[in-house]
Amino acid sequence: MTKEANYGSIEEKTALADDEATPSVEESSPSTIQKLGKLAIIVLVAAVGCSTALYAFSSNDTFSSADADTTVEPAMMSADDNVSNSANLTLPDYLEALDSSDPDYDASMLTSKYVIGEPGQGNMVPGKVELVRFVEEHFVFRTYGGGAKQCGWWWVLNPPRGKKETYFDHFAICPEWNDADNIVRCRVPENYVAVVGIGQTVTCPSGQYLDPDPSNLQLNGNICEASVVTDGHLSCEYCVSNDFNLRLSKCSNNGPDYIDGFVHRVLRGN
């Protein structure tokens, strides 16, 4: 036992009574007062320390477990939500993005070297491409001439417009590849699956650098084959492009024509 263990024993209290004196607070038990004082100080310091720590913990957002949980959870939810439209492209109403659960989904189409390109090499921007399905029939368009053939894989969703030079800039088309002397318009059948995305920058053989407009989506797909499968023949319309404004070309429009009217009705029995 230590001396502190016997503190306040009966023997000490009896000795104090025999002295027949009324001691002051300081005299009655100096060690007791000191001990109690030290104990009170320790308790006070501990209480202050705890309340300070609690205040710091509650006022510091970094250490909030609730905040930590809500920070992680939205990140995981965002990753899941982006599966169906990971590129976050703004698609027209006649297209829907496919997710990996769709039976027609083929991830290799989004990473093909014929679709994706590095900066300055053309094609589409990695991560800015989407597999889509046509939910209704719709026209797509392609300029060709020079080194570009009628039935290639690169198409645009809207009728060509403006001067050729402007069109080339908007879609990063090198004049050495395609002189855009002609336009072909094909009808894409419902449920057809293709790749759409934002065009990549390209450095042309002449050294000209083209940076396409990200609001103009490009399409990669075997459109001519899809047209033949649907209608039994190549139901596309060809026309000479108008040098003043591509929009003035005969087939640079979304309106009905001979193919849409007579031939389309005969083939489908409408």
Judge whether 149 lies within some domain: yes
Question: Alpha-carbon distance 193 to 199, whole Å?
Answer: 19
Side chain identity, residue 39: L
Judge whether 76 lies within some domain: no
Whether 26 and 33 have beta carbons less than 8 Å apart is answered as yes
Question: Alpha-carbon distance 199 to 72, whole Å?
Answer: 33
Is there a single domain that holds both residue 163 and residue 210? yes
Please report where in the chains the tokens 């193919």 appear, as a residue: 259
Phi, psi for residue 62 in degrees, rounded to 5: -60, -35
What is the arithmetic mean of pLDDT over 106-115? 91
Judge whether 32 lies within some domain: yes
Judge whether 152 lies within some domain: yes
Judge whether 88 lies within some domain: no
Q: 25-42, pLDDT tens digit by residue?
A: 343 444 444 544 554 444
What is the arithmetic mean of pLDDT over 91-106? 93
Question: Alpha-carbon distance 258 to 260, whole Å?
Answer: 6
Closest listed residue to residue 148, CA positions, set 114, 188, 175: 175
Is there a single domain that holds both residue 99 and residue 45? no
Judge whether 71 lies within some domain: no
Q: How far is C-alpha 114 from the geometric centre of its chain's CA atoms?
A: 23
Is there a single domain that holds both residue 20 and residue 152? no
Is there a single domain that holds both residue 128 and residue 199? yes
Judge whether 55 lies within some domain: yes
Question: What SS3 state is found at 217?
Answer: strand
- Sign of CA pseudo-dihedral 88, 84, 126, 94: negative
Is there a single domain that holds both residue 26 and residue 144? no
Whole domain around residue 250: which residue ranges? Answer: 95-268
Helix (H) or strand (E) holding 46: helix 30-59
Q: Given pLDDT bands bounded at 50, 70 and 90, which one contains residue 232? A: low
Side chain identity, residue 114: Y
Is there a single domain that holds both residue 236 and residue 119? yes
- Provide the percentage of residues in the chain whose pLDDT is more than 90: 49
Question: Alpha-carbon distance 262 to 251, whole Å?
Answer: 16
Is there a single domain that holds both residue 134 and residue 229? yes
Judge whether 27 lies within some domain: yes
- Tally of structural domains, the chain: 2
